[in-house]
A and B are shown apart, each in its own frame.
Chain A
Amino acid sequence: NAGVTQTPKFQVLKTGQSMTLQCAQDMNHNSMYWYRQDPGMGLRLIYYSASEGTTDKGEVPNGYNVSRLNKREFSLRLESAAPSQTSVYFCASSPNAGDSPLHFGNGTRLTVT
């Protein structure tokens, strides 16, 4: 039982490049989330998927897109990376949206030069 698995662990991009962060969970959770974490800013929600087949914007969605591929997988795409997107990205899942514990992946450290 791996929990929440994120890939890659580290990534360096040049401004304007694109990439997709992958996330998968094996806990049969309904809800999945993408957060970014910057120093002094805590955890900010980018997008979430309350259940399979739905996605919604969080606090900081600009510059990102998501796909809930199936119940297990939720990917985050940066179409044209900007230095402001340098951050640590965490995927998380929970049994239900909004009122149950979040289980986080190990994070992806992204640097955009």
Chain B
Amino acid sequence: GENVEQHPSTLSVQEGDSAVIKCTYSDSASNYFPWYKQELGKRPQLIIDIRSNVGEKKDQRIAVTLNKTAKHFSLHITETQPEDSAVYFCALGGAGSYQLTFGKGTKLSVIP
């Protein structure tokens, strides 16, 4: 099936700094790219998603960028706050697949 690699696996930033998480994939037919946030002991929740006809999407302090040529997409969090501390998962889908494929996750720690 489709493969997606997510980096880094852990990330520590100072409060107020930016954080960037990157995912790379191989199937050029993928056309749906969501990001999920999972707080400790909680369920994963969608925070932002993008489709292949768009290069960038923003929602307040978070943004996702997509480079279809290079087959990678990234999550950007600006002005990080302690409540941003969580595990973030990228995923991809579409291309006739009935399922999303998830990255292995990035544990983000925001240090006050």
Question: Could you tell me which A residues sit within 8 Å of B by CB distance?
Answer: 31, 33, 40-45, 48, 50, 56, 58-59, 90, 97-107
Provide the bound-state CA to CA distance between A107 and B44, in Å: 10
Contact of B97 with A by CB under 8 A: yes
**B99 adjacent to A104 (CB under 8 Å):** no
8 Å CB contact of A43 from B42, B46, B95, B102 = B102
Minimum CB–CB distance for B25 against chain A, Å? 14
Interface residues on B, range: 20 to 34
**A107 adjacent to B43 (CB under 8 Å):** yes
Majority SS of interface residues in chain A?
Answer: loop
The residues of A that contact B1 with a CB separation of less than 8 Å are: 59
Minimum CB–CB distance for B107 against chain A, Å? 10
8 Å CB contact of B44 from A45, A97, A104 = A104
Majority SS of interface residues in chain B?
Answer: loop
Provide the bound-state CA to CA distance between A45 and B89, in Å: 14
Known contacts A41-B104, A42-B104, A107-B43, then 8 further A-B pairs from the complex at CB < 8 Å, ordered by chain A residue:
A59-B1, A98-B96, A99-B31, A100-B32, A102-B34, A102-B36, A102-B44, A104-B45
The residues of B that contact A48 with a CB separation of less than 8 Å are: 98-99
A-B contact pairs, 8 of them (CB 8 A): A44-B102, A58-B99, A98-B32, A98-B99, A99-B93, A103-B46, A104-B44, A105-B43
The residues of A that contact B97 with a CB separation of less than 8 Å are: 98
**Which chain B residue shows the least CB distance to A45?**
B99
Provide the bound-state CA to CA distance between A99 and B102, in Å: 13
The residues of B that contact A99 with a CB separation of less than 8 Å are: 31-32, 93-94
**Which chain B residue shows the least CB distance to A96?**
B98
**A43 adjacent to B44 (CB under 8 Å):** yes
